[in-house]
Structure 1
């Protein structure tokens, strides 16, 4: 068992099966020493979008539910990384996370929602999980998801 898998187990996190793409793209691409993961929705362990993670922050989704949704996105990013790499210990560091928050125009607490993904990445990877990030409010997301997060990892051969 990899060190990162052991850490996830300590956290009580079981990685789901990596979700298949919803359109004409690949879930992950490796170029040089970078692994880029396509945006992951806040699907639960069952592969479904929970009702509390559908809709807009600032309307039907609370900041707490949004933060939990972002955490789910980060778990799904790690599932995609494991599918692409075979072993999560190949991750040298999380370089960047990009978060898209389905929000009303007046919802300003985007950063707090995105902390759900950022915090999970640091919990799972330790210092290798510290990253640069962008957080953007958007008008809509696929399947009416509350949050979508993409990632870039530096990897070892």
Structure 2
């Protein structure tokens, strides 16, 4: 009986230590991510699916969040449209990609509740509406990537593809999809 009591006591201590480790685990950031967003004068706004689409803007599986393709739609509903290099400059394309990143952050916050839970940005696929002679796709999608690094620091650096497309939905200047790792 003494052995059973001692074993139970040892197991209880082990469980207590395990829960304490989880509870006291170090924060991912030395700053508050959501405060950083405010410091950068970025406003997150609720996002709506365009009419007729029956998809999820974000899907979480285990500790990964998959953000559906999204584009540069301002909070007013105005879309940034046209082919970069023809209708829009590279700088305007960069700004379009930046707006897309902010839209994704809004969706991500809605999905996970607290952006401090982001472990890292894993993968970005950036598609630029351009003609076949355009070659500066990475410069455009840098607008998206730069926002993530400004907010998440090293955890915002990601693997990425930046490619050209002959057309995009609604003639949007760009479309981006992203995979994010989060704390469970």
TM tier relative to shorter chain = over 0.9
Match of 1:67, SS state, is helix
CA distance in 2, matches of 1:24, 1:134: 26
Distance in 1 (CA, whole Å) between partners of 2:43 and 2:154 is 21
> Is the 1:19–1:47 contact (alpha carbons within 8 Å) kept by the matching residues of 2?
no
Contact in 2 for aligned 1:100/1:137 (Cα 8 Å): yes
Is structure 2 residue 152 aligned with structure 1 residue 125? yes
Classify the secondary structure of the residue corresponding to 2:109: helix
Q: TM-score, length-normalised on structure 2?
A: 0.80
Aligned to 2:180: 153
Match of 1:36 in 2: 66
Q: Secondary structure at the match of 1:29?
A: strand
Cα root mean square deviation, aligned: 1.3
Distance 1:47 1:83, change over 3 A: farther
| Counterpart check, 1:138 vs 2:168 | no
1:59-100: CA deviation from partner (whole Å, max 9, x where unpaired):
101100000000011111111100101111111110011101
Which residue of 102, 115, 120 corresponds with 1:75? 102
Cα distance in 1 for residues equivalent to 2:77 and 2:155: 27
Paired residue for 1:5, among 19, 34, 38?
A: 34
Q: Which has the higher strand share?
A: 1
Higher relative contact order (Cα pairs below 8 Å, separated by 6+ residues): 1
Gaps in structure 2 of 5+ consecutive residues: 1-30
Specify the alignment match of 1:90 in structure 2.
117
Q: What is the SS of the residue equivalent to 1:127?
A: helix
Structure 1: gaps of 5 or more residues:
none
Other structure's SS at 2:139 match: helix
Q: 1:120 to 1:139 in 2, by over 3 A?
A: same
Deviation at 1:48, TM superposition (A): 2.4
Q: Deviation per CA, 1:34-63, whole angstroms, max 9, x where unpaired?
A: 0000011111132321xxx21101210110
